[in-house]
Amino acid sequence: MAISGRSLNFDAPPMLRSGWTSIVARMARSARGRFGIGIFVLIALFAVFGPALTPWTPDVIDWNAVGEDASLRAPSLATGHPLGVDDLGRDLFARLAHGTQTSLTISCLAVAIAVICGTAYGAIAGYVGGVIDQVMMRIVDTLYALPMTFVLVVMVLLFGQATEVLFICIGGFSSLGLARVVRGQTLVIKTQPYVEAAVIGGARPLDVVFTHIVPNLLGLVAIYATILVPELVFTESLISFMGLGVQDPDVSLGVLISEGMSGLLFGISLHLACPLLMFVSVQVALYCIGDGLREASDVKGEG
């Protein structure tokens, strides 16, 4: 190492030095990782391009399929309803495609909020330490003790039942757990020689955090995010199932499952089977990706 004034030459952090090449290579050799990625790519393609494959939109009623005759609601390529229609005459294929798209979008936006807020908050708390760290983490503990459903109800009462409220609330709560994990790792990383060298070289605290500490947390954060996504898909579906999330005319997997449960009273099992199968497929795919990435990164600990 050579220190010259305020300039400093030091070895790159381990994560940056090794890069993601070896992780990608090991991920490619993971059977579960490949399986998860393959399934998720198919689901993502369906969510993105599925709505364009049908002339129907989720809220449009096919009046020709409405009536007492159940055969009119059955799956049929001739009528343009490959998965059939619900009891109101709305195309199930269109609703499933839009519902999958909505659930994945809300979950990914919530994960983005959780990753950005949780990583920044935890890294700053861990690096600063002392009283500030204790105060910041007590705030996290206090918020963590509140039920998410209660907070969501309050948010809905204050700001209305909007999709933005849903993913901000879910993402904000999810960032609390990540903040704890990141803070713990930061306490270890800040003692490494390259971080101490940056401090000696006169680097500002925020520069040290976001230039030398956060890059070394990316592997852990990526693993946490892949595990968090299926949890948030489940959370969004559960909240929408309870009637607190996505509302008509929008549709999500939770809304479709709720409608399918109601449809069971009339013997319309296909309306439950399709969104439920999609929901399970998303969960399995993302958990497999998370396991594969964890194995490839060889990261142990909380997840």
91: phi then psi, degrees, rounded to nearest 5: -65, 125
Could you give the CA distance from residue 123 to residue 215 in angstroms, rounded to a whole number? 11
pLDDT in tens, 183-199: 999 998 888 888 888 88
The yes-or-no verdict on residue 105 having pLDDT over 60 is: yes
Could you give the CA distance from residue 161 to residue 155 in angstroms, rounded to a whole number? 8
Q: Residue 234 is part of a domain; what is its CATH number?
A: 1.10.3720.10
SS3 237: helix
242: phi then psi, degrees, rounded to nearest 5: -80, -10
Q: State the pLDDT at residue 113.
A: 93
Could you give the CA distance from residue 49 to residue 100 in angstroms, rounded to a whole number? 11
pLDDT in tens, 238-295: 787 777 777 777 888 888 888 887 766 555 567 888 888 999 999 899 888 878 877 7
Cβ-contact 296, 288 below 8 angstroms: no
In a domain, 207, yes or no: yes
pTM: 0.79
Strand duo 7-9 + 2-4: pairing: antiparallel
In a domain, 288, yes or no: yes
Q: State the pLDDT at residue 268.
A: 52
- The answer to whether the bond into 215 is cis (omega within 30° of 0) is no
Of 70-74, 180-184, 224-228, minimum mean pLDDT range:
70-74
Over the chain, what is the mean pLDDT? 80
SS3 9: strand
Nearest in space to 106 (alpha carbons), one of 253, 285, 218: 253
In a domain, 71, yes or no: no
Number of domains in the chain: 1
Q: Which range marks the domain in which residue 139 is found?
A: 17-62+78-297
Q: State the pLDDT at residue 15.
A: 45
Q: What is the mean pLDDT of residues 219-246?
A: 80
The yes-or-no verdict on residue 119 having pLDDT over 60 is: yes
Could you give the CA distance from residue 36 to residue 81 in angstroms, rounded to a whole number? 29
In a domain, 9, yes or no: no
In a domain, 73, yes or no: no
Containing 46, the helix (H) or strand (E) segment is helix 31-49
In a domain, 3, yes or no: no
First-to-final CA distance of the chain: 35
| Structure-model confidence comparison of residues 287 and 219, the more confident one | 287
The yes-or-no verdict on residue 43 having pLDDT over 80 is: yes
Could you give the CA distance from residue 278 to residue 265 in angstroms, rounded to a whole number? 21
CA distances to 14, 125, 193, 212, 227 from 17, rounded to whole Å, are: 5, 25, 15, 12, 25
Cβ-contact 81, 75 below 8 angstroms: yes
Could you give the CA distance from residue 108 to residue 230 in angstroms, rounded to a whole number? 10
The yes-or-no verdict on residue 10 having pLDDT over 50 is: no
The yes-or-no verdict on residue 163 having pLDDT over 60 is: yes
Q: State the pLDDT at residue 270.
A: 74
Amino acid at 268: I
